[in-house]
Amino acid sequence: MGSESEKRREANKEEEEEEIVCLESFFINDDYQLTKFTFGSHVLELYCLQSASTDFDLTGQLVWPGAMLMNGYLSENAEILQGCSVLELGSGVGITGVLCSKFCRKVIFTDHNDEVLKILKKNIELHGHSSGPNPSAELEAAKLEWGNSDHLGEILQKHNDGFDLILGADICFQQSSVPLLFDSVEQLLRIRGHGNCKFILAYVSRARQMDSAILREGAQHGMLMNEVSGTRCTVANLKGVIYEITLQ
């Protein structure tokens, strides 16, 4: 999968924690509560934390504003999910992937943190035998650290035909991780080739440097960053937008 990504990943581990955007470091908390979320006519129940009592590496224990933005968009445009195969980056507790499972034939939830993967798997089990419109959907959790060729290789060995959609909801917190994110996205998009796969990113702006970083990395990786018309909005007092990203 290329040594450049590995070099970036190693360099990323050495970055100062001050690059974390709008996050505070707390003790680990696993006091998960079953919580109900409504998106249009779809009601989801998942285990998650109720407040940000977590350290920066465990952000996936929460449902973040960008996930609400993404799920609102997908619930209103469910036709884009119908019968698709999806890989979600930075799934966290899995709220976006669970919504997708109502329409998609296959959803692969990914996260890099082992503690987060535990609650993610619990939520997948909770919905694994759904009586909804698509009870036969294939649901799977996998470890994926962006830029890690071994992790991505294991996923693609099992799913060598790639995916119709790549999803990411509120996953841009640390500026040094953005190149690694786009490295992984580019590899996933190139499996299907031009026009056969797209990356849908629900982006929430917390810092201007990050706003420019995602646009810059998209361009450097040969991608078209198309803002979806009508998706700019305020979510949890932050500015959000949906991007559809494809290879040029």
Q: What is the pLDDT of residues 147-176, one digit of tens each?
A: 999 999 999 999 999 999 999 999 998 899
- State the Cα–Cα distance between residues 181 and 2, nearest whole angstrom: 14
Residues with Cβ < 8 Å from 105, sequence gap 6 or more?
Answer: 83, 84, 85, 134, 136, 137, 138
pLDDT digit string (tens) for 186-224?
A: 999 999 988 899 999 999 999 999 999 999 999 999 999
pLDDT band with cut points at 50, 70 and 90 for residue 130? low
The overall average pLDDT reported for the chain is 87
| pLDDT surpassing 90 at residue 4 | no
Greater pLDDT, 31 or 138: 138
pLDDT at 10 over 80: no
